[in-house]
Structure 1
Amino acid sequence: MKKLLTLTAFALGIFCTMPAFAQWSEQNHAERFEQLGTELRSPNVYRTASGAPGHMYWQQKADHEIEVELNDDNQSIKGWQKVTYFNNSPDPLKYLWIQLDQNERAADSNTPKIAESRINPRMSLRQLEGILWHDQDLGYKIHSVKDMSGKDIPVTIVKTMMRVDLPQPLMPGQQMEFTVDWSFNIHDRMSFIGGRPGYEYFPKDGNYLYTMAEWFPRMAVYSDFEGWQHKQFVGRGEFALTFGDYKVKITVPADHMVGATGVLQNPQEVLSATEMQRWEQAKKSYDKPVVIRTQAEAERLEKQKAKDKKTWVFHAENVRDFAWTSSRKFIWDAMAVKQGGNDVMAMSYYGKEGNPLWEQYSTKVVAHTIKSYSARTFDYPYPVAISVEASNGMEYPMICFNYGRPDEDGTYSDAVKYGMISVIIHEVGHNYFPMIVNSDERQWSWMDEGLNTFMQFLAEQEWDRDYPSRRGPAHKIAPYMASERRLLEPIMTNSENIIQFGPNAYAKPATALNILRETIMGRELFDYAFKEYAQRWMFKHPTPDDFFRTMEDASGIDLDWFWRGWFFGTDPVDISLEAVNWYKLDNRTPAEKKADQKKAFDREESYVSKTYNAKDIEQTVVEADPATRDFYNSYNPFTVTPEDEKAYKDFMASLSPKEKELMNSGLNFYEMKFKNLGGLVMPLIIQFNYTDGTSEVERIPAEIWRLNEWEVSKVFAKKKEVASVVLDPFRETADIDESNNYWPRQFVPSRFEMFKSAGGARGVSTGDNPMRRARNRK
């Protein structure tokens, strides 16, 4: 509706009304713009109020020397390790805590006990096995824990944790050495037990592919903010681990290829002369990978199955963990990547089942990930980065296990291709978060999964301009945020207590960071602050407080409202454009004003009865009897009088030059009213589409909601007339209901499809495969 304002009414007025959502809060503004304050830990000498490590920051260190042997006949390993633990804390330690993650699969594990289960009308063997949880003799066998004189050290095993009781307290600045002798049976990770490590058996050639992770007793973290992190491992929450240096000897069948964290120390002893020549060639190849063990060579080894053994020796410095892989099935390729002043070897290990996808993409994706992540954080500091095809997806320092296999005919769907590329980016990217920026994954999954998924989105977009990224764009998180409240938890929730883990720990924080970068802070400020966080906390143990504070400290932007809403709350974004009122300054002449009044009067007095009465009533009383008439029967209120003309001239003469300029500007004033239906405050991004076909976007910061979190109004002065208005036109705020973002309202039908459900192994085609169809047409 177009409304006209007289100049004397051109003053702002404030009208107070009860907010539409007063039932949610007794105040128009409650807590959304309050500072986080006591929600964060108090700054101290270890962690500053700026989010940086304090001048007395400390962390522990644990060096390892490990000897391990793989038994390919019965799928087991046995190992011995010497741990040198450095107490850099100010606290005397009476005991140490060690993680025994393999015990998550032991017969008395809590994992199946706390898992909900039910009987369905149709039950698969895998589902029933999950209920029965047969004892497969899994879990650690700890044979001994001794000091360096050979004396037993008392230990207490508590499910997936082991307490080592020291003979005397380990004082600040001291170190101690002890040994652990252990073994366990490796499980089939493709079975109902699943999990990250284990083996995969290939019945067609009778071989195994081992992904050995979480395989040795690992030191738990002792920190300034938590003490010992010894929360039980029940399968989902990943790891808080201590940095250290590793020397590892791995004994495997002689025809196996081994990839591992760190640098191979004895390549001449374990590689053939041909492989050594190719390896040296790969070190100088910066544009494409060099195949060091070919598919033909791997297929030949699959049939021979050597009985003798070789020992591979690896060293790794300043890593929080160590993982390795072994199989005679492996094809191996590598290339060099310039990184800062060093060369990084990007490598891939994969069986023939991974080709042709893996030989074409894997190592190039590794190289791209290192370049993309390093540009936004720090130069990749490690000498190698490895991708292993293992029908899996899990990360460790310098090595990760990924999925993505073509069909047996060599064709694949685009879902498999992009799924493989995405998981490689994601798992290689975990080298940065949390392998180097070493957050506590078990406590705050989003600090590694969310940050890494955000970085993955950026790397995907750099890989292919039309990359079908699943997580990152704001509108793709809207369905999750529109879920029932009972199915939602804040991002700041322990990993084991989250119902929708993927959306909560991966997608929502990644989306929040992308919104921060694109909409709230802008790319320049965000990128500077994010890099500052990464560089402050590389090779250290940050907490969420450190991240929140650093992002504000380095950018100069108060983001407490954003952290509070996106990370501590579950409200969705649903901002409704409730009304648009159009006003113009009243600069009409008396004649124009009277003419407009006449039109309005005629419109008001035009109704159906008057139309019918014109025919049905032959003569009214006034028409028939002149005595019933008076002044008003001939008076025309729409006639311009001399008094009207004089008043107009006097008014115009009284105006100042600025007032005359404003009166003649022809400006259109649009008063817009917004309601916060979802609860999560966000900026107002408004696109004005003008009658001349042009458009313009205005951006109003989220702070417009600070005095009333439920309803706000804003007036915009425009030279052009507005034909329509769109709220959040670029879909950048994760609004869960876009139907109320238009003026005038627009209605778009929602469509649904019928489909036939299908399932399959992870990373294997289960849907449309256009490549196969095209090949069959030839």
Structure 2
Amino acid sequence: MKKFYKGFILLTLIGQIALAQNILNNPGSNHGNKFEQLGTILNTPNEQRTASGAPGVKYWQQRADYKIKCELDEKKLTLKGSETITYYNNSPDVLTYIWIQLDENEHNNLKNANYQSSSRMPSGALTTQVDNMKVGSQGDNGYGINVTKITDATGKNLSYTVNKTMMRIEIPALKSGTQFIFNIDWNYKITDRIAGGGRGGYEFFPEDGNHLFTMAQWYPRLCVYSDVQGWQNHQFTGRGEFALTFGNFNVQMTVPADHMVGSTGECVNYSAVLTPTQMARYNKAKTSTTAPVEIVTLAEAKTAEAKKTEAKKTWVFQANNVRDFAWTSSRKFIWDAMAQPIAGKNVMCMSFYGKEAYALYSKFSSRAVAHTIKTYSDFTIPYPYPVAQSVEAANGMEYPMICFNYGRTDADGTYSESTKNGMLGVVIHEVGHNFFPMIVNSDERQWTWMDEGLNSFVEYLTEELWDNKFPSKKGPAYTIVPYMKLPKDQLEPIMSNSENIVNFGPNAYSKPATGLNILRETIMGRELFDYAFKEYSRRWAFKHPTPADLFRTMEDASGEDLDWFWRGWFYGTDPVDISLDSVRYAKPDFSTTANAGGGNRFGNRPGGSRVDPPAVNAFEDISKIRNRENSSIKFYTDRDLEARDFYWKYDRGLVNIDTSLNAKPQTQPARLPMEEFTAEEKTKYGNKFFYELNFSNKGGLVMPIIVEFTFKDGTKSIDRIPAQIWRLNELKTSKFYVQDKEVASIKIDPMRETADINETNNTWGGSASPSKFQLFKMRTGAGPARGQSVGSNPMQLEKKSK
């Protein structure tokens, strides 16, 4: 294509951020914020969604069944179709209209969502880009859905309104528990997705004159109507993906007779569209669990590319309990398949790809599909569908049972390792989307992270189980550090609407995936995390969860209070930067007399001859006053006089004691009798080493503190301090250690588990002068028991005065 030096290019505008507010309980304090419960933030539990995170007894969701007939015209590059939709109103509400998504309108210059972003003049642009920009001022560019007729089941026209990428259809009042059947006829011009972008469309191969069609978001489809939002009819801008309703599909696709079709669901007429040889290979693949079987070979695909036919064939697919439907069609396809046993049944793992990807896809694609559905099944629920497919189409996008991926070889069939790893990563990621959000069906239009973030996390687990050396990018904590180090004006919380995120990939994919991995590896442990995550998947399979449902289920099923983590990692933008500020080091100093207090954690409370005043509050609160003034309240010591003692009178000023006679200035703390250490004990304790580590939270995000000690003999040990150490002071904390060996150095977060953005303040090199540390041995039976007073008390003085 020509290079054009004068034109325009669209840039991303940093818009206003729509986010779930991180309400602080005690914003002026160094505590009481980061560990406050999320009750003031999460939606109130109800009969639809419980406080445990499970669907409630009155949970409901809608259903939409589709019967679609469509025809692909390869010469005109158009698709026309008609569909019959049966809509089931399972809500308690009466509906007088329904909302339909018209995603293809994103390509129309007049009917797109019109969410504009700022733009600048680039140094160069493609002619196709310039053409796309010019049409806005030159009339309709001809793309987008053309709705030609909408009728009810009797053929009566229904009134409808198209608002950009959404269409409202007025219907007779649809009561709870009833259904409505209606028909839509439509057509549209298919876009060149390579030149114009987008999820669906065609790619043209000029060297052989053929097209590869990926038909996605191709039919008018129902929006979700739910208990948490009503209609999810936010406009489709191309970024925020889809909120869709489950249902059953029967779809007939009429295409050129030499095309191969891959689709959501199972083909119910393979015997009519495949040759006997291809059918035999397909049946063989059903039981091949170790290697893919080529149903259409490379040689056959090359022959089909060269010999085009004018004839047509109709492929028929059935898919049950899915939220969407996509398909692909081309005569370029090699097609292979293998079986993956899941929960007692074989799932057909299939791949479609052109000769340009043969060396990569024939070896890896179907195997990666099989590995993905098996691994995801282990971490979530057993894969419930009969088919899982990967299509090489120079992009990456997911739909039920089928996804479109990239990964082509060089002309000589070779490829780089980065190409291979990229191909494996995208296949795992897109196939994994069958679980999130195709089965656990979150609202992607509002919460991208519940789709991309959760899937990226399990993708990471799956990549790690694919190859121990696989260079996973989303999941390891240290990989999110560059994003977390960005200035605050370039960050937004994970809990932000997808349209308003500046750094979309790190925010919606990597940060939530990293957070879940930190939960699993560092905070909860694998056993607790895996059980809770499986429970979330089980509870919300084929349903519409919200963030609160995930947060609550993870806590409910694990017994872990994780509100602090959701609050910091998902609702905030603070990074982790825990600093090891100082280390105090001491050796024991043996002594026979002990300071009875002075704040030493091994001593008792201060004693001496001071006489305590009456233990009454200096200020009487309203409750005390109201209780006293309430004649119906009878206090126990008024009902039972035997419950009154000396201090009952002392507190009321009924006892006169001259405390000045016994009170003296406390120049020395009280001493308790101690025993001498034996030589054996001195040897035992004399070899102890005492360390006080002082930490500060410079980043703001609380996190566990992982301390690695390296001793002078070269050995190491790890202590994992839970995040709750920050509860009473979110800015500074400390930890005291008794070691059997002298420490040479200390490092925190040695395995880079917490996404600490500044590792320069994580170490101590052993250069500290020893402090004095007195060690005492209390004489057996000497000194006060716990709770026993030390020194004089008012009751003793009263007795002495008599």
| Mapping of residues 121-270 of structure 1, within 5 Å | 121-125=123-127, 128-129=130-131, 131-133=133-135, 135-166=140-171, 168-191=172-195, 193-270=196-273
User: How far did 1:121 drift?
Assistant: 3.7
Structure 1 residues 675, 659: closer, same or farther in 2, change over 3 A? Answer: farther
Structure 1 residues 92, 659: closer, same or farther in 2, change over 3 A? Answer: farther
Aligned to 1:74: 76
Identity %: 58
| Mapping of residues 332-731 of structure 1, within 5 Å | 332-587=335-590, 654-655=675-676, 664-731=685-752
1:99, 1:217 within 8 Å by CA — same for their partners in 2?
yes
Structure 1 residues 485, 87: closer, same or farther in 2, change over 3 A? Answer: same
Structure 1 residues 121, 279: closer, same or farther in 2, change over 3 A? Answer: closer
Q: Which residue identity lines up with residue 92 of structure 2 in the other structure?
A: P
Residue 96 of structure 2 is aligned to residue 97 of structure 1:
no
TM-score by length of 2: 0.80
Q: Which runs of 5+ in 2 are unaligned?
A: 1-25, 593-670, 768-802
Structure 1 residues 71, 126: closer, same or farther in 2, change over 3 A? Answer: closer
Residue 311 of structure 2 is aligned to residue 290 of structure 1:
no
Aligned to 2:85: 83
Residue 55 of structure 2 is aligned to residue 53 of structure 1:
yes
Q: Distance in 2 between matches of 1:126 and 1:742?
A: 55
2:743, 2:766 within 8 Å by CA — same for their partners in 1?
no
User: How far did 1:467 drift?
Assistant: 0.4
SS, match of residue 571 in structure 1: coil
SS, match of residue 139 in structure 1: coil
1:112, 1:131 within 8 Å by CA — same for their partners in 2?
no
Q: Distance in 1 between matches of 2:173 and 2:35?
A: 47
Q: Distance in 2 between matches of 1:68 and 1:181?
A: 10
SS, match of residue 193 in structure 2: coil
User: How far did 1:490 drift?
Assistant: 0.4
Structure 1 residues 718, 352: closer, same or farther in 2, change over 3 A? Answer: same
User: How far did 1:651 drift?
Assistant: 11
1:401, 1:427 within 8 Å by CA — same for their partners in 2?
yes
SS, match of residue 196 in structure 1: coil
Q: Which residue identity lines up with residue 170 of structure 1 in the other structure?
A: L
Q: Distance in 2 between matches of 1:224 and 1:651?
A: 68
Structure 1 residues 322, 651: closer, same or farther in 2, change over 3 A? Answer: closer
TM-score by length of 1: 0.83
User: How far did 1:249 drift?
Assistant: 0.4
SS, match of residue 437 in structure 2: helix
User: How far did 1:715 drift?
Assistant: 1.0
1:739, 1:745 within 8 Å by CA — same for their partners in 2?
no
User: How far did 1:129 drift?
Assistant: 4.4
Deviates more, 1:116-125 or 1:217-226: 116-125
Residue 277 of structure 2 is aligned to residue 274 of structure 1:
yes
Q: How many pairs does the alignment contain? A: 661
Measured against aligned partners, the alpha-carbon deviations of 1:631-682 in whole angstroms (never above 9, x if no partner) come to xxxxxxxxxxxxxxxxxxx999734789956983432111111111110000
Q: Distance in 2 between matches of 1:116 and 1:659?
A: 78
Structure 1 residues 219, 711: closer, same or farther in 2, change over 3 A? Answer: same
Q: Distance in 1 between matches of 2:283 and 2:412?
A: 33
SS, match of residue 261 in structure 2: strand
Q: Which residue identity lines up with residue 186 of structure 1 in the other structure?
A: I
Measured against aligned partners, the alpha-carbon deviations of 1:188-229 in whole angstroms (never above 9, x if no partner) come to 0001x2011000000000000000000000000000111000
SS, match of residue 34 in structure 1: coil
Aligned to 2:606: none
Q: Distance in 2 between matches of 1:717 and 1:367?
A: 51
Aligned to 1:114: 116
Measured against aligned partners, the alpha-carbon deviations of 1:725-749 in whole angstroms (never above 9, x if no partner) come to 0000010000011111010299xxx
Q: Which residue identity lines up with residue 699 of structure 1 in the other structure?
A: R
Q: Distance in 1 between matches of 2:420 and 2:684?
A: 63
Measured against aligned partners, the alpha-carbon deviations of 1:132-163 in whole angstroms (never above 9, x if no partner) come to 35653100000011011111000011111111
2:190, 2:202 within 8 Å by CA — same for their partners in 1?
yes
Structure 1 residues 281, 741: closer, same or farther in 2, change over 3 A? Answer: same
User: How far did 1:183 drift?
Assistant: 0.3
SS, match of residue 366 in structure 2: helix
Measured against aligned partners, the alpha-carbon deviations of 1:754-776 in whole angstroms (never above 9, x if no partner) come to xxxxxxxxxxxxxxxxxxxxxxx
1:112, 1:133 within 8 Å by CA — same for their partners in 2?
no
Q: Distance in 2 between matches of 1:493 and 1:436?
A: 23
User: How far did 1:235 drift?
Assistant: 0.6
2:113, 2:235 within 8 Å by CA — same for their partners in 1?
no
1:65, 1:246 within 8 Å by CA — same for their partners in 2?
yes
User: How far did 1:282 drift?
Assistant: 0.7
Match of 2:763 among 725, 738, 742: 742
Aligned to 1:63: 65
Structure 1 residues 727, 110: closer, same or farther in 2, change over 3 A? Answer: same
Q: Distance in 2 between matches of 1:145 and 1:415?
A: 49
SS, match of residue 388 in structure 1: strand
SS, match of residue 433 in structure 1: coil
Aligned to 1:324: 327
Q: Which residue identity lines up with residue 45 of structure 2 in the other structure?
A: P
Q: Which residue identity lines up with residue 467 of structure 1 in the other structure?
A: F
Q: Which residue identity lines up with residue 189 of structure 1 in the other structure?
A: R
1:454, 1:511 within 8 Å by CA — same for their partners in 2?
yes
Give the root-mean-square deviation of aligned CA atoms.
Answer: 2.0
1:585, 1:663 within 8 Å by CA — same for their partners in 2?
no
User: How far did 1:392 drift?
Assistant: 0.7
SS, match of residue 432 in structure 1: coil
Measured against aligned partners, the alpha-carbon deviations of 1:325-348 in whole angstroms (never above 9, x if no partner) come to 000001000011111021100000
Match of 1:309 among 308, 312, 321: 312
SS, match of residue 710 in structure 2: strand
Q: Distance in 2 between matches of 1:484 and 1:431?
A: 35
Q: Which residue identity lines up with residue 30 of structure 2 in the other structure?
A: N
User: How far did 1:238 drift?
Assistant: 0.2
Q: Which residue identity lines up with residue 504 of structure 2 in the other structure?
A: F
